[in-house]
Chains A and B, each alone.
Chain A
Amino acid sequence: MDGEKINSSPASDSFLRIALVGQPNAGKSTLFNAVAGYKAIASNFPGTTVGFTETRLRIKDKIYQLIDLPGSYSLSGCEPAEKVTRDYLYQHPPDLIINIIDASILARSLDLTLELMELGIPMILCLNMMDEAKRKGMEINVDALSKILGLPVVACIANKGAGIDQLFEQAQAMLSKSQKPLPIKFSQDVEEVLEALKQALKGVPERIGLAERFFLLKLLEQDPDYIQKLNLVAGEKIEQVKKFQQALKQSHGREPDEVICSERHGLALSIFEKATKIRLGKITGFQEKLDFWIMHKYLGYVFMLIILFLFFAFVFWMGKFLEEPLLGWFERVQNFLSANLREGILSTILIGIIQGIAGGVGIVLPYLLPFLIGLSLLEDIGYLPRIAFLMDSFMHKIGLHGKATLPLVLGYGCSVPAVMASRTMENPRDRFISAILATLIPCSARTTIIFGLLAYFLGPGWALFIYLFNIFVISVIARIFMRFQPESADGLIMEVPSYKLPMASAVLKKTWFRLREFIIIAFPILISGSIVLSLLEFFQLIDWLNQALKPLVVYVLGLPEKVGVTLIFGILRKELTLIMLAQALGTTEFLSVMTKTQVVVFVVFVVFYIPCLSTLAILYKEQGWKGVGSAILITLFSSVLIGFLFRLILSAIRYG
């Protein structure tokens, strides 16, 4: 059995399809990656996989299509990830479902299993993390579970590779039998209502193309999406459905959806009790003690600051360590070329390309690489949801909730992964706002400007001030968003996964996966931007550009005219702003040609203005033109305003 690398395309009807479905953090992506090379990001942060990933899988000379669907607690489609899973299962019913479960939380996980069985698709159950279950003091009787559910059950430990071969052998056996699961029956009175509804809607589920029991239950659960489907095909039946919902509500004294879910939950619990001999299943004392401190009211924040400080110290130290030799090497290549090539348009383009690669490899990668390694570590250990917990009340003050902390913290590394991380938010408003705010956080490229210019020439106090001031401005902008789009009612509801020992191979692979995603998006833009700038220089258009930007640069911000072009550079390649500034001014002793006020205004402006092209590209992918447009407007407006204010205030107090 092995996985074959192919381009993911959803249309591949010729192979039998196997879908991996499970709750968040059950280990779907780990299992998927174990057989597919490395394509999906497994994470210790709930809701990381929002799209689905596919691969081809060979089991004993037969090829199958394997689909990794986003983690879902249920098929209700309340969160974006759950909607993807539910719609996939409904629109392209796979030939087999592998329901993967974290065995250490079996009781809760069986709810989804029972719901999946209603779909009437052949299914097998994979009990993952059996070692963790044992650690929690549980003993699960796999045969008993299989008997009660009427499904094959395979125990495995996906991150150690144990049980995976048996799982896929079992999957193959099941595919050849193609045996549909028999639904587990609810209590008599609910089944009676269900039967009556079935008679009333005879033929309707077939017309919609949905499994009958699944559809009827969703109607009873008052699921708005399915009510709408019914309305399209047989709107006249809606009244009857309402009657049955009413009947359930009256006989149970609860909302009908709660009646159905409680039925499922009750069944899940009784199955759990029958199938486990010892069922302590409590969180370990170790985790409880650790979380007492890590998520403590006061000390939790102290630990958070220490951890984040160590994290950023590691990034800067590693970045510096890697940056110098790389830049030196690129400089030698460039010097060699400009000495040996005749001046002309081709050599200009060539040097543009090399400068572009040098900027990407020599300046961005040295910081991005340790950043992504550190992030993967924090993520796999399980620390990120704990930050979200600690920051929730602060985030509410700016109209978001705890989960929005992740994109904002990531923003300090690079805006591109930060914007991507906004995917984990449940509703579109929060996704949009956290993506926009993330671009305002000074990324590592802007950090080099803050440190290289401001801290170096005017002292580290200024750098600290800029970071705090930046947080202040972001809060103000977030509060303005709140006026236009009131805070959504969804508060934080988040599973806090248990701590896990990070595995070196998983951390490195994940780092590589993200790095590759960044390189694919950003490098073409970096390089073409660099070529454009070399050409501008070659055709001596720089002066013309400076003239065009003069009103903003000179009249509003009070900066030297020559600085104008570096701002254009900043959009294309933010990390090169500092180098460009030196080139434009002809010196690195900036204080000899700029006043202290001008240095501050320049840095403040660069920190806030338009995000780099790579960020705009990913913003377009996540939020469309609306996201790109809003980001440009907001950043341009705030940077001009703030730059101007700083100029006014600093000249008023005669800062120098």
Chain B
Amino acid sequence: MTLDQVSENQEVVVKNLLGGFGLRRRLHGLGIYPGERLKVLNSALMRGPILLEVRGVEVAIGRGVAGKVEVELWTGKK
């Protein structure tokens, strides 16, 4: 599934970044890499952006961008 389908308070692990070079680099800049664990904190109304926690930093990404981040639910093991 992709990050825009994750509900609030769920933790996920990034599997893959689907966007092009520029998008990938901008996500990398904020610490979003394959293998990284994210927690969805809030999501805004009307397909608005979602708020994530990435290693102790809050990051907001638009719904369109989130649709390009492939994730799977975090099951608790390292």
**Which residues in A have some Cβ–Cβ distance to B below 8 Å?**
23, 73-74, 76, 78-79, 104-105, 107-108, 111, 136, 222, 224, 254-255, 257-258, 261-262, 265, 280-283, 287-288, 291-292, 295-298, 300-301, 385, 388-390, 392-394, 396, 401-402, 489-498
Contact = CB atoms under 8 A, between A and B. Distances in A.
A22 B2 CA distance: 31
Contact of B60 (A73, A104, A492): A492
A298 B48 CA distance: 12
Given A79-B26, A295-B51, A385 B44 contact: no
B53 interface: yes
A595 to B, nearest CB: 42
A402 B49 contact: yes
B51 A389 contact: yes
Interface string B39-75: 0011111111101011111111111110000000000
Contacts of B33: 261-262, 265
Interface residues on B, range: 35 or more
B53 A283 contact: yes
B27 interface: yes
A287 B58 contact: yes
A296 to B, nearest CB: 7
A194 to B, nearest CB: 19
A291 B62 contact: no
Interface in B13-55: 17, 21-31, 33-35, 41-49, 51, 53-55
Given A291-B51, A393-B46, A385 B21 contact: no
B55 A491 contact: no
A78 B24 CA distance: 10
B52 to A, nearest CB: 9
A73 B42 CA distance: 24
B42 A291 contact: yes
A491 B29 contact: no
A281 B56 contact: yes
A282 B53 contact: yes
Given A301-B45, A491-B64, 11 more contacts: A76-B25, A111-B29, A255-B24, A261-B24, A287-B58, A291-B51, A389-B44, A493-B30, A493-B61, A493-B65, A496-B59
Contacts of A262: 33-35
A259 B63 CA distance: 26
Contacts of B63: 393, 491
Given A105-B55, A108-B55, A498-B58, A493 B27 contact: yes
Nearest to B16: A254
A492 B51 contact: no
Contacts of B55: 105, 107-108, 281
A108 B25 contact: no
B28 A265 contact: yes
Contacts of A298: 45
B44 to A, nearest CB: 6
B29 A73 contact: yes
Contact of A390 (B21, B22, B44): B44
Pick the most buried of B46, B49, B61: most chain A CB atoms within 10 A of its CB.
Answer: B49
A496 B30 contact: no
B22 to A, nearest CB: 5
Given A492-B61, A493-B61, A73 B26 contact: yes
B58 A74 contact: no
B29 to A, nearest CB: 3
B56 A392 contact: no
A108 B54 contact: yes
Contacts of A295: 41-42, 44, 51
B56 A136 contact: yes
A500 B62 CA distance: 24
Among A389, A493, A496, max chain B CB count under 10 A is at A493
A496 B58 contact: yes
A253 to B, nearest CB: 10
B61 A291 contact: no
B28 A74 contact: yes
Given A105-B55, A108-B54, A292-B42, A385 B60 contact: yes
Contacts of B62: 392, 396, 401-402, 491-493
Nearest to A76: B25
A132 B22 CA distance: 31
